[in-house]
Copies of this chain bind each other. A is one copy, B any other.
Amino acid sequence: MPIYNAPLKDMEFILNDVFKADEFWQGNENLAHLDMATANAILEEMAKFSKNVILDLNRSSDEEGGAQFNNGVVTTPKGFKEAFKQFAEGGWVGLGAPEEWGGQGMPKMLTVLADEMIWSTNPSFMLYPLLTVGAGMAINDRASQEQKETYLPKFYTGEWSGTMCLTEPHSGTDLGIIKTKAEPNEDGSFNITGTKIFITSGEHDLCENIIHLVLAKTPNAPAGSRGISLFIVPKFHVNADGSVGERNAVSAGSIEHKMGIKGSATCVMNFDGAKGYIVGKENEGLAAMFVMMNYERLSMGIQGIGAAEFAYQNAAQYATDRLQGRAATGVKSPEKPADSILVHGDVRRMLLNVRANNEASRAFAVYVGQQLDITKYSTDAEAVRKANDRVALLTPIAKAYLTDKALDSALEAQMCFGGHGYIREWGMEQCIRDLRISQIYEGTNGVQAIDLIGRKTIKCGGTYIGEYIAEIREFAQGLDDGLSIKAAVLDVCTQVEDITAFIVDQAKTEPDFSNAVAVDYLHVVGLLSFVYMYARISQAAQPKAEAFFQNKLVLAQYYVAKILPDLAARVQRIQAGADVVMQLPEEYFTAQS
């Protein structure tokens, strides 16, 4: 059976040593209730829950075929109900939610780490509370006081859950063409009619009510994305006293049969004149929904880290135990029939690739978490402005670059197992199947890249990335000259500056340019971000003699020597431009060859 032990020591290192969390929390009156001791205690609790309660349910839920659909009713896999009850009673649903509504008020810097453990051990399970948390954020941000009072406390006790209903069969990335209709009633409510697909947790048996957040078009709404409104559509109507009443006209038509995350119910939802309540203003639904989408997007990055950490731990253990061949430098374990495969450079290469990306990813998630915390808790307007820009810039990296690296990592970890990695019992193949969706949902990674290069870079003339590079360069200049990463970071800053200027310039005359090079640019900014994380990790580790810290300096060298070279390839591709991508006619692609 697969193993998992939460990487608590690395988590503490990142919070405490790299990002000086105590200082940050104590220096902010809204976060002063938290210190490292409390943070560690929370993470230790989650480490136990993830390992002891949900890890085994991950394999068993996949083996039994995942969530089951029968005549509109969805049954979650064996053990999910009990685990969710325990999860909710532990206060985990509202870990990052406002205390006012029954949450724990914990900052994002911390919740990303707790979330990682759930993603490591049971991604299907994670998706049930995740959508609730996202729906809660949208309601907290945009809904009326009465709506907040009605729904939020029920979310954080785990009694009710939430969904986000965006996609329709013909409308995914392009939400401007949705067809779901919202017809106003005299009492101010609306009748919602339409079909939504790919609705995570659209129907299930973990909660007594499900609150759908639905995008729909009111009569005479403007065409395209400016004519979309957001509605609350409860599965069961809510009585005046807050109790659950009659069934609303919304139901699951089926669930999808998927590559992975089979324990998570992905539903087709039919709205047949279901009663809905508008959230915020008419035609401003997309902006309201994006409060939730941005939150989910960071979460997908954490899904990536979680899976890659799980994959790493299992591969490292397997490689240690597996005896095959002998070391090139001479027999290492003469008492055994063969040496551990850890003697082979190629096995180490795979494990180090995974570990180097994992540790950078985790640090980066905490960094973005801290930026989000600044936007939410800081009272310094300029700091909030800067952090908002930074979050805007880095959300596509957090979603897409982290999940791209995570899939690469999980595949390399699987390869360490040889044929055993292909067999279900080791859990590696499920890890890959479950992880793959993270690159696709909540906006494909290609769409993230287009967001990064378009709205976040070209549109502002490179200001966001310019400020980010300035921060990185200043940090690197402060590093000890004895750290070899210093020169690498400064060099990368210059390269990214140059290629960004080239992109901003090309985009002025070539409408197709940005889309054609977007993914390469996403990886450029991802590499910049990770080498920056290794600069911060190196600075924090350098003064500490213990092997745990000194090994981080070696891993940073590994990153520069073996992973950073990808930058050269990405830059060359961007320089090669868009013509060769765009010049073939559309019919070329499907012409019989």
A interface residue numbers (CB < 8 A to B):
5, 7-10, 167, 170-174, 177, 197-198, 256-260, 313, 316-317, 319-320, 323-325, 327-329, 337-338, 340, 342-352, 355, 407, 411, 414-415, 418-419, 421-425, 429, 432-433, 436-437, 439-441, 444-446, 449-450, 511-519, 547-548, 551, 554, 557-558, 561-562, 565-570, 572-573, 576-578, 580-584, 586, 588-593
Complex interface: chain B residues within 8 A of A432 (CB): 259, 436
Report the bound CA distance from A411 to B433 in whole Å.
12
Cross-interface CB contact of A583 among B340, B554, B588, cutoff 8 Å: B554
Report the bound CA distance from A171 to B437 in whole Å.
34
Q: Verify B551–A515 contact, CB threshold 8 A.
A: no
Chain B's nearest CB lies how many Å from the CB of A523?
11
Q: Verify B590–A562 contact, CB threshold 8 A.
A: no
Report the bound CA distance from A518 to B313 in whole Å.
24
Complex interface: chain B residues within 8 A of A450 (CB): 346
Chain B's nearest CB lies how many Å from the CB of A304?
15
Chain B's nearest CB lies how many Å from the CB of A590?
5
Complex interface: chain B residues within 8 A of A578 (CB): 345
Q: Verify A323–B590 contact, CB threshold 8 A.
A: no
Report the bound CA distance from A593 to B450 in whole Å.
35
Report the bound CA distance from A197 to B588 in whole Å.
46
Q: Verify A338–B583 contact, CB threshold 8 A.
A: no
Chain B's nearest CB lies how many Å from the CB of A143?
27
Q: Verify B173–A418 contact, CB threshold 8 A.
A: yes
Report the bound CA distance from A517 to B320 in whole Å.
21
Report the bound CA distance from A567 to B337 in whole Å.
39
Cross-interface CB contact of A584 among B337, B346, B439, B554, cutoff 8 Å: B554
Q: Verify A424–B258 contact, CB threshold 8 A.
A: yes
Q: Verify B9–A518 contact, CB threshold 8 A.
A: no
Q: Verify B593–A10 contact, CB threshold 8 A.
A: yes
Complex interface: chain B residues within 8 A of A586 (CB): 320, 340, 342-343
Complex interface: chain B residues within 8 A of A558 (CB): 580-581
Complex interface: chain B residues within 8 A of A516 (CB): 345-346, 348-349
Report the bound CA distance from A397 to B347 in whole Å.
19
Report the bound CA distance from A30 to B7 in whole Å.
64
Identity of the chain B residue whose Cβ is nearest the Cβ of A362 in the assembled complex: B593
Complex interface: chain B residues within 8 A of A329 (CB): 511-512
Report the bound CA distance from A414 to B515 in whole Å.
19
Report the bound CA distance from A411 to B562 in whole Å.
23
Q: Verify A581–B562 contact, CB threshold 8 A.
A: yes
Report the bound CA distance from A351 to B582 in whole Å.
12
Q: Verify B433–A590 contact, CB threshold 8 A.
A: no
Complex interface: chain B residues within 8 A of A548 (CB): 591, 593
Complex interface: chain B residues within 8 A of A167 (CB): 419
Q: Verify A346–B515 contact, CB threshold 8 A.
A: yes
Known: A345-B518, A580-B554. A418 touches B433 (CB 8 A): no
Q: Verify B172–A418 contact, CB threshold 8 A.
A: yes
